[in-house]
Amino acid sequence: MAYGAELSTVDIPDEHQSAVSWDAIWAGAAATVALLFVLVSLGAGLGLKMAPRWPAGLEADDFTPAVGAVFVACQVVASMLGGYLTGRLRTKWLHVHDHETYFRDTAHGLLAWATSVVGLLVLGALTAQAPAASVDALAPAEVIRAGQIGAQISLFLGIGALTSAFAASVAATIGGMRRDDMHRLHRAAKP
């Protein structure tokens, strides 16, 4: 076959194709985790304490609402990149209504986000070392303060999870629309 020769294409009926592009989801999840690592590392380099110092653990003044807000922003930015890549890298669906395409792109972004969260949870569980401090050894004021810090961290993790899931879904829809628009423009430009 000569270089540049046209290849014939065969339409495979949509009911025989998966609606989920797992390769795109894995790529988006990997990009999310990688960018989150970079952003958190930059934050740590700028003096934000987002992880406890080993082996002392988290101290009362280490976590502030500003640190929580920066961590939420890191989650959202990383999830947007992962979601956008997921939308751009997914396979082209033929004979699918635009509304279904938007739904599938949104679902792909959500799946990429969920995959990255599960991956981070597994990584965290494998590398975590709980301090061996006993509650009995702490003063009552320290126990109350530790509970307050735990509540603040949980609040910011929840806010970050919700906003980053939404951001990944929207970014995947935008990435998918951009991908489909490029295909339409490419087909329209062919003589």
Indicate the domain borders of the chain.
24-48+66-91+103-122+140-191
Question: Residue with structure tokens 């939308």?
Answer: 87
| Digit-coded pLDDT (tens) for 66-75 | 888 888 999 9
Q: Which residue from 49, 57, 70 is spatially nearest to 142, judged by alpha carbons?
A: 57
* CA 176/CA 160 separation, integer angstroms: 24
* CA 161/CA 155 separation, integer angstroms: 10
Q: Which long-range contacts (CB under 8 A, 24 or more apart) does 73-76 make?
A: 74/36, 74/39, 74/40, 74/43, 75/36, 75/160, 75/161, 75/163, 75/164, 76/160, 76/163, 76/164, 76/167
| Digit-coded pLDDT (tens) for 26-40 | 999 999 999 999 998
Q: Is the pTM higher than 0.85? A: no
- pLDDT for 94 equals 77
- pLDDT for 49 equals 66
Residues of the chain falling short of pLDDT 50? 1, 7-8, 10, 54-55, 132
* CA 133/CA 68 separation, integer angstroms: 24
